[in-house]
Amino acid sequence: MGHRFTYEALPMRVRFGAGVLAELPEEIAALGLARVLVLCSPEQQDTGQLVADALGRGAAGVLAEARMHVPVEVARRARDLAVELAADGCVAVGGGSAIGLGKAIALQHRLPVVAVPTTYAGSEMTPIWGLTEDGQKRTGRDPRVLPRSVIYDPELTLTLPGGLSATSGMNAIAHAVEGLYAPDASPMVSLMVEEGARALVAALPSVVADGADLDARAEAQYGAWLCGAVLGATTMSLHHKLCHTLGGTLDLPHAQTHTAVLPHAVAYNQPAAPQAVAALSRALGGHPDPAQALWELAGELGAARSLRELGMAEQDIPRIVELALTSPYANPRPLTRSGIEALLRTAWAGAPPASG
Ligand code: NAD
């Protein structure tokens, strides 16, 4: 049977390489922007200031208030400040939280965003936005939130701590995995998946062993770019649904939750996705059982492999099972209550994945 697929390329510009942050003023000018508001999280105020300094008079100000899951109050404050300072765009510097804040402003106020990512989460490559109000996170897709331009400078990732480098890298690999069996998968996406996952799997052990290894940092960020592009191009399945539910309901940390769940979600889907298994095996150095290989990789990187370690109580499992089964979505293997419960129990305990 020949190929049959739909693939829509997203209109984005990417500049990649050590030191490319110096080209940010040029990039801003090329987009026709004159005064941009720099967004970052409080922990990265210094990096935000560094970016504002690089922009000189092109920076309208720095707002260092980005937080996980974009609380709606923070989004409103950022939008009001952008208006007050007469900013004509935003530069979001940081991980998914800072970039998510830029997207929220783009959604409500139409200001163009330039992203300068410093983790491997991949939000910069997607039209997906999220906003949290009264403890409820809403997400959606809107082409208006897609950053106009992305500056990947691996030098900015040198300060990302080893633990977060490991889990953020596993978060990126999770996008790649689910791109392989997505309902909107395509040959272009599969190429990005294999190359992106391969680069991360090769680089992460060196990144964790020596955070100052710039070559390994660049290879990891290159992989994260490809995995982010996969997330932007496809619809995610069981793994992302579970992590979204765990994060939204129990407030578990984003990248760490992805790391603990991924091997088990892969083990669940493996029997129904033989082509994905073959592609992942290639990306994982020929390992015949990708679920097991991902579990071993997380262990090698020193990441927490159990949801228990992340603070989840065992009695929360049934509630998460129910929520994961409420709205139907595409997944290679049909979802069963007993199957999802067994998956979550194994992930909670941090036991090896139950690969079939
Ligand atoms: P994050 O942005 O919350 O960053 C975690 C912490 O690491 C922050 O304190 C941050 O300041 C710090 N940090 C980031 N880069 C650093 C660096 N280079 N050096 C030192 N410290 C650094 O974490 P994240 O995992 O990147 O993003 C998670 C959030 O992004 C979640 O809310 C998630 O839902 C969202 N997300 C959205 C998408 C999307 O497509 N919309 C994709 C992935 C993640």
Which atom of ligand 1 sits closest to the CA of residue 244?
Answer: 34
**For tokens 């005064």, what's the residue?**
35
Q: What do you get for the CA distance between the two ends of the chain, in Å?
A: 28
> Which among 44, 50, 97, 141 is the best mutation to test ligand 1's pocket, defined by most ligand atoms within 8 Å of the CB?
97
Which atom of ligand 1 sits closest to the CA of residue 67?
Answer: 3
Question: Does the beta carbon of 168 sit less than 6 angstroms from any atom of ligand 1?
Answer: yes
Question: Does the beta carbon of 43 sit less than 6 angstroms from any atom of ligand 1?
Answer: yes
Whether 184 has a pLDDT exceeding 90, the answer reads yes
Give the pLDDT score at 156: 97
Residue located nearest, by CA, to atom 32 of ligand 1: 69
**For tokens 């790649």, what's the residue?**
176
Q: What is the DSSP letter of 131?
A: E
Element holding 91 (H helix, E strand): strand 89-94
How many angstroms separate the alpha carbon of residue 172 from the centre of ligand 1?
12
Q: What is the pTM of this model?
A: 0.97
Give the pLDDT score at 328: 83
Q: Helix, strand, or coil here: 34?
A: coil
Confidence of residue 51 (pLDDT cuts 50, 70, 90): very high
Residue located nearest, by CA, to atom 17 of ligand 1: 160
SS (H, E, C) 147-212: CCEEEECHHHHCCCCHHHHHHHHHHHHHHHHHHHCCCCCCHHHHHHHHHHHHHHHHHHHHHHHCCC
Question: Does the beta carbon of 119 sit less than 6 angstroms from any atom of ligand 1?
Answer: yes
127: Cβ–Cβ under 8 A, 6 or more apart, which residues?
10, 141, 142, 143, 144, 145, 146, 232
Question: Does the beta carbon of 156 sit less than 6 angstroms from any atom of ligand 1?
Answer: yes
How many angstroms separate the alpha carbon of residue 118 from the centre of ligand 1?
8
Q: Are 92 and 113 in contact (CB under 8 A)?
A: yes
13-157 and 162-349: identical CATH topology: no
Q: Helix, strand, or coil here: 128?
A: strand
Confidence of residue 183 (pLDDT cuts 50, 70, 90): very high
Give the pLDDT score at 197: 98
Question: Does the beta carbon of 71 sit less than 6 angstroms from any atom of ligand 1?
Answer: no
In the chain, the amino acid numbered 83 is: V
**Cα 206–Cα 295–Cα 222 angle in degrees, nearest 5:** 40
Model pLDDT for residues 278-298, shown as the tens digit of each residue: 999 999 999 999 999 999 999
Output the furthest CA–CA distance in the chain (Å, rounded). Answer: 59
Give the pLDDT score at 147: 98
How many angstroms separate the alpha carbon of residue 321 from the centre of ligand 1?
26
- Tell the CATH topology of 13-157: Rossmann fold (3.40.50)
CATH superfamily of 162-349: Dehydroquinate synthase-like - alpha domain (1.20.1090.10)
Question: Does the beta carbon of 229 sit less than 6 angstroms from any atom of ligand 1?
Answer: no
**For tokens 């592609």, what's the residue?**
279
Residue 349's φ and ψ, nearest 5 degrees, are -80, -20
Give the residue from 315, 312, 318 showing the smallest Cα distance to 348: 312
How many angstroms separate the alpha carbon of residue 258 from the centre of ligand 1?
13
Q: Are 205 and 303 in contact (CB under 8 A)?
A: no
Please give the average per-residue pLDDT across 14-30, as a whole number: 96
Give the pLDDT score at 248: 86
Whether 356 has a pLDDT exceeding 60, the answer reads no
Confidence of residue 1 (pLDDT cuts 50, 70, 90): low
Please give the average per-residue pLDDT across 323-340, as a whole number: 94
What secondary structure does DSSP assign to 58-69, as a single string?
Answer: GEEEEE----TT
Question: Does the beta carbon of 353 sit less than 6 angstroms from any atom of ligand 1?
Answer: no
Model pLDDT for residues 77-132, shown as the tens digit of each residue: 999 999 999 999 999 999 999 999 999 999 988 999 999 999 999 999 999 999 99
59, β-bridge pairs: 36
Give the pLDDT score at 330: 94
Q: What's the chain's average pLDDT?
A: 96
Joined together, the tokens standing for residue 351 give 């036991």
Give the pLDDT score at 135: 77
Joined together, the tokens standing for residue 245 give 């539910």
Angle between helical axes of 337-349 and 254-269 (0-180°, round to 10): 130
Domain boundaries, the chain: 13-157, 162-349
d(CA 165, CA 172): 11
Residue located nearest, by CA, to atom 16 of ligand 1: 160
Confidence of residue 137 (pLDDT cuts 50, 70, 90): confident
